[in-house]
């Protein structure tokens, strides 16, 4: 899992980074809002953790910009304690809000909860092995390709929500991919053949959604 950490306090960044590295995350580090956005749009990122008060652009501004173009999960960190501040954070699109000071172990638990990170996830007769990057159906290894696995993982993180082809291209193929959007359709079709046609619904003109009705 790729994690983007943005905070203008070097010691705070160092501490948080050390904890997430120990948990097996791949991390990207930014010390201001502009750098955070540059890293986000040039790398595959599964989760963003932003400090509210940063130079150049605030965490709130960065969160809004990220949410314009993706459904990447965002956690905002802040020393602010006013209830209105939490409201503003969540209104900006943040998926969670953590007040400073905090125990890094709690932040990791919240991050894993947002990303639904357990060693494996079951959906009906499907088992998605997140560590082994394999998909099983009825106990049989479906021999999913890397792209198929990454597509299912992204749909799973956003289950019940429509994700566009552009979102899937950015998160699975990368922001620097300039090929046809229709390549997503081809990979989705192959993935459907393996996991079951009914599980991924097409919303014409909008995108795809993982419809979990048999958990």
The alpha carbon of residue 19 and the mean position of all alpha carbons in its chain are separated, in whole angstroms, by: 18
Which is more confidently placed, 54 or 91?
54
Domain residues of the chain, as ranges? 2-115, 120-210
Alpha-helical (H) ranges within the chain are 10-22, 33-40, 59-69, 83-91, 104-115, 146-157, 165-168, 182-195
Q: What pLDDT is stored for residue 118 in this prediction? A: 63
Average pLDDT over residues 160-166: 88
Residue 168 clears pLDDT 60, i.e. is over it: yes
For the question of whether the overall pTM of this predicted structure is more than 0.75, the answer is no
Q: What pLDDT is stored for residue 215 in this prediction? A: 47
pLDDT in tens, 96-123: 988 888 888 889 888 988 887 666 788 8
Q: Give the 3-state secondary structure of residue 105.
A: helix
pLDDT averaged over every residue in the chain: 87
Which CATH number does 120-210 carry?
Answer: 1.10.10.10
Domain 2-115 = CATH 3.30.465.10 = no
At residue 209 the predicted structure's pLDDT band, cuts being 50, 70 and 90, is very high
């Amino acid at each position: 899992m790729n994690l983007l950490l943005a905070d203008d306090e070097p010691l705070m960044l160092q501490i948080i980074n050390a904890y997430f590295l120990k948990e097996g995350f791949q991390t990207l580090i930014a010390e201001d809002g502009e750098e955070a956005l540059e890293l986000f749009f040039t790398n595959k990122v599964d989760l963003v953790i932003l400090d509210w008060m940063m130079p150049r652009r605030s965490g709130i501004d960065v969160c809004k910009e990220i949410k314009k173009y993706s459904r990447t999960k965002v956690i905002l960190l802040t020393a602010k304690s006013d209830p209105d501040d939490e409201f503003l954070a969540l209104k900006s699109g943040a998926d969670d809000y953590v007040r400073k000071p905090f125990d890094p172990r709690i932040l990791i638990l919240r991050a894993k909860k947002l990303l639904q990170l357990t060693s494996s996830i079951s959906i009906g007769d499907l088992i998605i092995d997140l560590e082994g990057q394999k998909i099983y159906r009825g106990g049989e290894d479906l021999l999913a390709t890397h792209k198929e696995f990454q597509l299912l993982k992204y749909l799973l993180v956003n289950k019940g929500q429509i994700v566009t082809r552009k979102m899937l291209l950015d998160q699975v193929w990368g922001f620097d991919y300039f090929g046809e959007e229709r390549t997503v359709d081809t990979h989705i079709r192959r993935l459907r053949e393996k996991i079951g046609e009914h599980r991924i619904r097409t919303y014409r003109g909008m995108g795809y959604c993982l419809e979990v009705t048999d958990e």
